[in-house]
A and B are shown apart, each in its own frame.
Chain A
């Protein structure tokens, strides 16, 4: 019996095999041409952990690749089944398992969207603050698997800071729970839970997780402040922290990048908003809390801004439009910005990480590299993603023609080169997309001899190298067929 027949026998109509059904799962949001859609050989729509166990056990038996995916909004192909085989559509498992109000935790199946988590706890005055722009479709498991960014990272951090426990189906089909139940931290054992965060499904399939939820702040205020340079913006944020203020979120936009968020303004007024000639960076900063505390915070934040040559953006329409794009997603009916802004070219970005003092340096390198490969520059964003500290995720973004294979190829060269540049700057190749197959060539360059330990960990969880093969390591490397 073929493995697909075995899957059908075990899972019935949860197995999709028609060409058009498989084609749906062959690409995410990463820049690629239509010719580069890679359909899996079979799609599984599991409803429970047991369905995933059955799937992985059959895959293990036959040595078939297994790629699990969520909303398929990834920007680097993390859930694209590049070795085909079995695709597990995690979104079919979206049940909320437990809301524990007293202990401020929620446990959900892997495919619950991040917005589903928020919806499940909002009645209790709680929220799950790891919320990117794709929160409606990004799933809990995908967020964990890539250790994604959040709009509110400067206060709450990333999944690494919010996840308490993970249920994982390993590469042999065994179910393990890693983490520390509902406690915030633990000093026992090895931190296997942290190993799973950012592992991209290469160690197993995440089927459920318990995360912290936090009290919803009473009031929130979003501002934009113009600074002469990105470096000055970093100094401002450092000063804000020193003063004892804690922003919920802070996003530094280079001058060029602002345009991407002012699409609605441009549509309405027929021109871009006016930005002073001296402006080198635009900081979007979010504070939240009780009214009196927030008022005091804003007064202090404005005073520091004035001291440091920052100018508050008075045109609220610009700020409000940015906030709609970034968080509320309350676009006017039939005018959601993403499709309208990507009819010809699409957003594509490298996501290097660099130390806090190197922002201007990486910006220069970003422009230089994009120009070298003749790519249209959208701009750079630095998202503050470390709680109460200066730590960036970078989005060095371009507009890429996804119908032009040559341009896509140049984009990938740019992507690779940016990875190397980040490591050379004492940084890291990736901050929120994870490695996927795109960063494999520089994996050893960043990790050195530690890469061998990582490989052994991979082999422990996934002895046959079937879990999302080709990501982080080539499949042959895992199977010992290449050095």
Chain B
């Protein structure tokens, strides 16, 4: 694919100009400059492919100031974000993307880890490599030993014995969305070498989606797997009698349609869900998508705070989510929102609640 191959969608956006994409764009809601919207970027691409101007570094900055959350796509009928990734590839090829992105991708190539850490999963999780179901942790979780061991324990209580790979490597999602396609292909090869499984469980929504879409693997997000067990009655959960709000991670909810499953698990624990203004398919990004953490952590924090304001508005004290990136980003958002709105909403993972409900 190329930007040119998205021409029909880009022209349709020009012909339509409905602007519905703006409504829930987490970036636009903060920056309020139209060039950052989906329509803005589509029109910028239109001028470029029609030969009115060439891409610039400033254009690259605008195009990378996007979480690729798909809030524009859900209010549209076109795959706008696919086009933005194609544009990122062209910007990379023209040498216009910021060097920080290249550095990040090189780090992944060298270490197999988004954060450039050398983590030996075989040592870290040596007690968790004798299970039956392979589980891919992903970069967000694999350095977080205690949390992963807690999750493994929770799964074991439900009879799910997982097996962690000896030397897990990044799936390549980040390199792909940053527009480094060749490098992403190499990273995918290393992933497959270290993790030679067709059927496996995952914990990170983005890894799940990417391994399904880019590699046609049968990866299943663990929330979905747990939901199936709860639904079939094989797992009994305690009544926690709680009120929470649930944050849909963009890739899990909007992209993969896993929206009711986590809610049904929560309800099975006697948890009452108070929905935020944006939820389900129309959920709002925590801010950390699309590689934005690499170059614009302040804007990510603003977006996380924006999301936590919606949680505050529900009146509950706890927000639950099912994505490690959302969880850590919203933790920061919660602290910032607490300062501004004088109300604290605790951020928890669904695994923490399951742990309580399985004792």
Give the B-binding residues of A (Cβ under 8 A).
16, 18-21, 23-25, 27-29, 34, 37, 45, 71-73, 89, 91-92, 94, 111, 115, 134, 136-137, 329, 331, 333-340, 342-343, 346, 402-403
Indicate if the CB atoms of A333 and B19 lie closer than 8 Å: no
Indicate if the CB atoms of B47 and A137 lie closer than 8 Å: no
Give the A-binding residues of B (Cβ under 8 A).
8, 11-20, 22-23, 32-35, 39-40, 43-44, 46-48, 50, 52-53, 55-56, 58-59, 62, 73-78, 254, 281-282
Indicate if the CB atoms of A334 and B43 lie closer than 8 Å: no
A29 in contact with B32 given A19-B52, A20-B44 (CB within 8 Å): no
Indicate if the CB atoms of B32 and A71 lie closer than 8 Å: no
Indicate if the CB atoms of A343 and B12 lie closer than 8 Å: yes
Residues in A with CB closer than 8 Å to B76 are 334, 336, 339
How many Å lie between the Cα of A137 and that of B38 in the bound state? 13
A338 in contact with B32 given A34-B46, A136-B23, A333-B74 (CB within 8 Å): no
Indicate if the CB atoms of B32 and A27 lie closer than 8 Å: no
Indicate if the CB atoms of A73 and B18 lie closer than 8 Å: yes
How many Å lie between the Cα of A333 and that of B76 in the bound state? 8
Indicate if the CB atoms of A23 and B52 lie closer than 8 Å: yes
A339 in contact with B58 given A20-B48, A92-B33, A136-B22 (CB within 8 Å): no
Residues in B with CB closer than 8 Å to A89 are 33-34
Indicate if the CB atoms of B52 and A27 lie closer than 8 Å: no
Q: Can you list 13 residue pairs at the A/B interface with Cβ under 8 Å?
A: A20-B47, A20-B58, A21-B35, A25-B34, A27-B17, A27-B43, A37-B14, A37-B47, A91-B34, A333-B282, A334-B76, A336-B20, A403-B11
Among the listed A136, A334, A343, A403, which residue makes an inter-chain contact with B73, where contact means beta carbons less than 8 Å apart?
A334
A34's nearest neighbour on chain B, judged by CB, is: B50
Indicate if the CB atoms of B77 and A20 lie closer than 8 Å: no
Among the listed B12, B18, B40, B74, which residue makes an inter-chain contact with A24, where contact means beta carbons less than 8 Å apart?
B40
Chain A nearest CB from B1 CB (Å) reads: 18
Residues in A with CB closer than 8 Å to B52 are 19, 23
Chain B nearest CB from A241 CB (Å) reads: 34
Indicate if the CB atoms of B11 and A346 lie closer than 8 Å: no
Chain B nearest CB from A421 CB (Å) reads: 27
Indicate if the CB atoms of B74 and A18 lie closer than 8 Å: no
How many Å lie between the Cα of A45 and that of B36 in the bound state? 13
> Which of B19, B40, B73 counts the most A-chain CB atoms under 10 A from its CB?
B19
Residues in A with CB closer than 8 Å to B44 are 20-21, 23-24
How many Å lie between the Cα of A333 and that of B74 in the bound state? 5
Chain A nearest CB from B276 CB (Å) reads: 14
How many Å lie between the Cα of A346 and that of B12 in the bound state? 9
Residues in A with CB closer than 8 Å to B11 are 34, 403
The 4 A-B pairs with the shortest beta carbon distances in the complex, nearest first, are A137-B19, A19-B53, A333-B281, A23-B47
How many Å lie between the Cα of A337 and that of B76 in the bound state? 8
B28's nearest neighbour on chain A, judged by CB, is: A91
> Which of B55, B75, B78 counts the most A-chain CB atoms under 10 A from its CB?
B75
Chain B nearest CB from A397 CB (Å) reads: 15
Indicate if the CB atoms of A137 and B43 lie closer than 8 Å: no
Indicate if the CB atoms of A72 and B19 lie closer than 8 Å: yes
How many Å lie between the Cα of A439 and that of B21 in the bound state? 31
How many Å lie between the Cα of A461 and that of B39 in the bound state? 34
Residues in A with CB closer than 8 Å to B12 are 339, 342-343
Among the listed B14, B15, B32, B56, which residue makes an inter-chain contact with A20, where contact means beta carbons less than 8 Å apart?
B56
Chain A nearest CB from B44 CB (Å) reads: 4
Residues in A with CB closer than 8 Å to B56 are 18-20
Indicate if the CB atoms of B77 and A340 lie closer than 8 Å: yes
A339 in contact with B18 given A19-B52, A333-B74 (CB within 8 Å): yes
Residues in B with CB closer than 8 Å to A134 are 18-19
A333 in contact with B34 given A18-B56, A19-B53, A136-B20 (CB within 8 Å): no
A25's nearest neighbour on chain B, judged by CB, is: B34
Indicate if the CB atoms of B32 and A137 lie closer than 8 Å: no
